[in-house]
Chain A
Amino acid sequence: MNQLIFISLSTLTIVSALFMVFSRKPMYSVLSLIFCFFTVAGHYILLNAQFLAITHVIVYAGAIMVLFLFVVMLLNLNTVADQIKTMGFRVAAMIGAGMLFLVLLASLKSTTLGTFSFPEDNGMGMVEHVGMRLFTDYLLPFEISSILFLSAMIGAVLLAKKEKR
């Protein structure tokens, strides 16, 4: 049963991701990316990471992709973009990306993973456990990330504020 769900979810993820890349209209790309995010959230649930799944849906599908949709619609970008890339550029990109893909595939195929003990506790991916770890072992990165967000917020205000002249 689990295997069946995993395979169908993976197929959906890959197909929607491919559709996102190959679609010529930005709107279709955005929509299939949203779908892709939902299927990835499904994977998280399969891995017993409920908190991560919900956060993923709220942040990516909920906030970021809606922002993308608004930008695409408000700026009326839903037209086929001009292909200005030359042939040489495409061939080079294909060779480069293909080589990286081959290396990744080969490395993952030939890796024998060590055995990691799966935690006995079933509440591993639940909110309480994430919170406990976040506010004990990972307290410092949690606090440091506030500097990152503060900096990004100042930047957003700086770039978007109307200038008084």
Chain B
Amino acid sequence: MNTLIYTAGLGMVCLAMEILDLRKLLVPVILLGLAVIFGVNLMSWADSGPVIFAGLDMSSMLLVDHFSVAFNGVLIVAAAFLFAMSHDFYKDEQHHLSDYLTIIVFILCGAMVLTSYSNLVMMFLGIEIVSISLYILAGSRRHDLRSNEAGMKYFLMGSFASAVLLFGITLLYGASGSFKLTEIASYAATYGMDSPMFLVGSLLVVCAFLFKVAAVPFHFWSPDVYEGSPSLVTTLMATLVKVSFFAAFYRLMSSGFAGIDPHTSTILVIVAAATMIVGNLVALKQINFKRLLAYSGIAHAGYMLLAILSLKTNSASALLFYGATYILATIGAFAVALPVFSSTGKETIDAFDGLGRKKPFIAGMLTLSMLSLAGIPPLAGFLGKYYIFSEAIHNGYVAITLLAVITSIIGVYYYFKVILAMYTKAGEDTEIQFPMLYSIVGIICVALSILLGLWPGGLMGLL
């Protein structure tokens, strides 16, 4: 609870700093604030009392448990990386800097609501805070046609998905008579499978979530929006937002819909299989780096759906670990890609041509990030996949896990396409400007990837 209040307060501080004309201090102040919020979040780990807000017990709205604290921690770290990169990314747009950063802080607030809600009202609010802020950021390059397209497309499709979500929530309320997750869970356990209205409601809510995490067949927005949005916003969507939606999805399935498991697991198995196949196969043909990572994100969504399928053995820690490794590897890749894009003016894979010769250290960072995404040991991405796959096998989903293994082997090919472009192709002689903050973010991400790959216990034993 305090974590959320402090984060909202940080957003207000950002707005106030714009008024006081302190733009230069904005990024350091936000990073400092996030460090404080991380500490506040840590302190709530041991605190299992009821959530008190303005003297009222709000436990039926927000539930701070180990799950939410752990995910909040990962999200705060991801946000800190993004803010560190925003300093150089928005260098030419100083007059909008505080607007962008404030919106990203509010997205973090929404993500925190998503990790800790215990009421469908709060879940909807969290989803809308994140989504509406993202529509704005996706279309924030007003004079760039592709950014306009991305914002418009995301907005239209996203609001349609929100309507489906609301319709589903209405049906759930009509059947169970409550918005509270605990009461929905007890209704689902006793009457859920016999109540068609409840089943259809849950189907619609699940569909809306599948849209938000870009699972096949609800993925069509993702490549276009990822490609058209400003690259930093793409990074935000692919990392912080995706993982927070998965946390919310997991929370809904484990503490709301656990009683109707036979119904939802059939849907999720089909969707996860389609997501892994389509995501990996279509990624093979991409030449735009952002589209490539969009399809790779779709494929990773398929793997993370496996964690949501394996509810019976408490796969939350596997999802947390996978989410963290995915965030680290993706931010590591974008920390290299953002300056390369802005120096070369291209966003295709051949923008990286010859990087291995020009900047071997930076090319090495991108290589390690790509290997982590592909799941090559000893990097953390391998262990993330390993944990999720073994959870799925423990729950009896052997066939789909086999499919996941095969598709992730296919995935190695397109990650290597980027690596090969860096080391084997000659490339133009454009000077690549590589600001300090990007390399710091990249080094930390890659170092954490390696550390988590060697000592996974720190994160794996949390939940």
Closest to A158 in B: B99
User: What are the residues of chain A within 8 A of B174 when measuring CB–CB?
Assistant: 113
Size bracket of the A interface: 20 to 34
- Cα distance, A136 to B199, chains bound together (Å): 31
Contact with B along A113-154 (1 / 0, CB 8 A): 110100000000000000000001111110111011011101
Any A CB within 8 A of the CB of B132:
yes
Report yes or no: A136 in contact with B56, Cβ–Cβ below 8 A.
yes
A-to-B contact residues, CB < 8 Å: 103-104, 106-108, 110-111, 113-114, 116, 136-141, 143-145, 147-148, 150-152, 154-155, 157-159, 163-164
Report yes or no: B140 in contact with A148, Cβ–Cβ below 8 A.
no
Report yes or no: A148 in contact with B129, Cβ–Cβ below 8 A.
yes
Q: Take A111-B175, A136-B56, A159-B136 as given contacts and tell me if A147 and B102 are in contact as well, using a CB distance cutoff of 8 Å.
A: no
Report yes or no: B54 in contact with A139, Cβ–Cβ below 8 A.
yes
- Cα distance, A152 to B136, chains bound together (Å): 8
Q: Is the interface of A mostly helix, strand, loop or mixed?
A: helix
User: What are the residues of chain A within 8 A of B8 when measuring CB–CB?
Assistant: 147
Report yes or no: A147 in contact with B11, Cβ–Cβ below 8 A.
yes
Any A CB within 8 A of the CB of B96:
yes
B140 CB → nearest A CB, Å: 6
User: What are the residues of chain A within 8 A of B99 when measuring CB–CB?
Assistant: 154, 157-158
Q: Take A116-B177, A159-B142 as given contacts and tell me if A151 and B125 are in contact as well, using a CB distance cutoff of 8 Å.
A: no
Report yes or no: A147 in contact with B56, Cβ–Cβ below 8 A.
no
Any A CB within 8 A of the CB of B344:
no
User: What are the residues of chain A within 8 A of B359 when measuring CB–CB?
Assistant: none
17 CB contacts below 8 A, A to B, read A103-B203, A104-B200, A107-B196, A111-B175, A114-B177, A139-B58, A141-B122, A148-B125, A150-B11, A150-B106, A154-B15, A154-B102, A154-B136, A155-B132, A158-B100, A159-B139, A164-B95
Report yes or no: A155 in contact with B136, Cβ–Cβ below 8 A.
yes
B-to-A contact residues, CB < 8 Å: 8, 11, 15, 53-54, 56, 58, 60-62, 95-96, 99-100, 102-103, 106-107, 109-110, 113, 119, 121-122, 125-126, 128-129, 132-133, 135-136, 139-140, 142, 174-175, 177, 191, 195-197, 199-200, 203
A140 CB → nearest B CB, Å: 5
- Cα distance, A157 to B100, chains bound together (Å): 11
Closest to A157 in B: B99
User: What are the residues of chain A within 8 A of B100 when measuring CB–CB?
Assistant: 158
Report yes or no: A144 in contact with B136, Cβ–Cβ below 8 A.
no
Report yes or no: B122 in contact with A144, Cβ–Cβ below 8 A.
yes
- Cα distance, A140 to B4, chains bound together (Å): 11
User: What are the residues of chain A within 8 A of B197 when measuring CB–CB?
Assistant: 107-108, 111, 113
Out of A141, A151, A152, name the residue touching B61 (CB < 8 Å).
Answer: A141
